[in-house]
Amino acid sequence: MLPRVEDIPQEARRQLLNILSERGRIRPGDLGVSRAYFYQLRHGLRQIPDRILSRLLEVATDDDLAQIPYFAQYVNYERVRSLDVDRIVKLFLEWARANPASAKVALDTIQAEVERLGLTGRVIRVTEEHLGEWKMFLEARIREGRISGKTARDRDRYLRRALEDLDYLLGPARLQSYIRKLTLEAPDLAAHTAKALRLFIKHILRSRELYEVVPSVQPRRPKREAPTWEEICTTVEAVEWPPAKAYMLLLASTGARSGYIRSLKLGQVDLERRLIVFDIEGATKRQYIAFFPEPVREYLVKVYLPWRQFYLEAHGIQSDRFLPVRRDRLHRAVYEAMDKALGKRFQPYSIRHRALTHFARHLPSLEAKLLSGHASREVYLEYYYQLDRLEELRSKYDEAMARIPCLRG
């Protein structure tokens, strides 16, 4: 028989909260509090009120209470000790047969708890040294241009949130159970968290066993229709700001990813040959080529590039980027044009789907793959260094793009 709730000391309350939190049986939402308030309760920065303690005692088992000196004196283990292993296993199997949908979840929970107790599996405790190495790893990736500062901050935030939820103990069963539960509750959060954990485990902990149990989560998203050529061309004609118009013209002409267009350097754009060489640095380093039609070249030469030079000189900027303006300004100008001309919006990146579909319909398969960045390096080199093949490919491209009103002049 436990004492009255109001008589239980704060230290015992805090120990109980921490045990239930570490075992994944209590979350801030279960208590109706924020994550910040939950953190303060766990670390003794706020007193745990009777209302929350009552909820903790409802969730706690004899095993939980036995871990805390204050509560241990009130726990009677005689009933549990009288159950032998065979009977426990038999009872669990009978329950699993009657509840097959819940059995897998229950088994995962048991495995995670046994793992946390150190009775099986390999559990790694994440230390401050690990986190210091992680910080240096992210800084190095930023310097190398592999990720942006924002991406690095996001990775760090998702990792630290997961480590706090897991009490800085990483084991195979705990990770599987955590990601599976997160995927059911918040698929997008699970995807970002899994990416951060996989990166941390691979490069900092260097544990193949843990790396292989963290899945790559792909949230299911409703399919969105790509904009039609009519909608794309209407938007292109409505955009007035030169860099935004150049941005849209290059997206429609090349079918490239929007990030590739925004990161183009001047040296990658060959105006004479109407050619762009994409040099992609990242997990898959590769190169590929793309063309743009003559009307686009004329706009770049006569309108955009003079505007670019004036813009850089007026602001005292030195930049080798082809589009030396911020992403949000480009998209703002594009969306404003869409609002006026279409009365609705589509994402600039969705132009790629429309362009690649057009390539697939009007170009041979290999050449469509080459212009979309899906061909091998050998194919890229074969076309790039053989002028007659390059000219033949450009001729086929011009013929295909002449079907698009805003790209044929």
Q: What is the mean pLDDT of residues 101-119?
A: 66
Pick the closest to residue 191 from 230, 162, 170 (CA basis): 162
Q: What is the pLDDT of residue 283?
A: 43
pLDDT: which is higher, 86 or 200: 200
The single-letter DSSP state of residue 170 is E
Using CA atoms, how far apart are residues 391 and 379, in angstroms rounded to an integer? 15
Give the pLDDT band of residue 196 (cuts 50, 70, 90).
very high
Using CA atoms, how far apart are residues 356 and 350, in angstroms rounded to an integer? 10
Q: What is the mean pLDDT of residues 104-129?
A: 70
pTM: 0.53
pLDDT: which is higher, 149 or 338: 338
User: CATH homologous superfamily of domain 229-407?
Assistant: Intergrase catalytic core (1.10.443.10)
Q: What is the pLDDT of residue 243?
A: 96
Give the pLDDT band of residue 284 (cuts 50, 70, 90).
very low
CB 408 within 8 A of CB 292: no
pLDDT in tens, 48-64: 999 999 999 888 887 77
Mean pLDDT estimate for the chain: 86
14: tokens are 């805090």
Q: What is the mean pLDDT of residues 333-354?
A: 94
Residues near 222 by beta carbon (within 8 Å), at least 6 away in sequence: none
Residues near 320 by beta carbon (within 8 Å), at least 6 away in sequence: 265, 266, 267
Using CA atoms, how far apart are residues 106 and 169, in angstroms rounded to an integer? 20
- Top-ranked range on mean pLDDT: pick from 12-26, 62-76, 277-291, 313-327: 313-327
Residue 348 pLDDT more than 70? Answer: yes
CA 179 to chain centre: 14
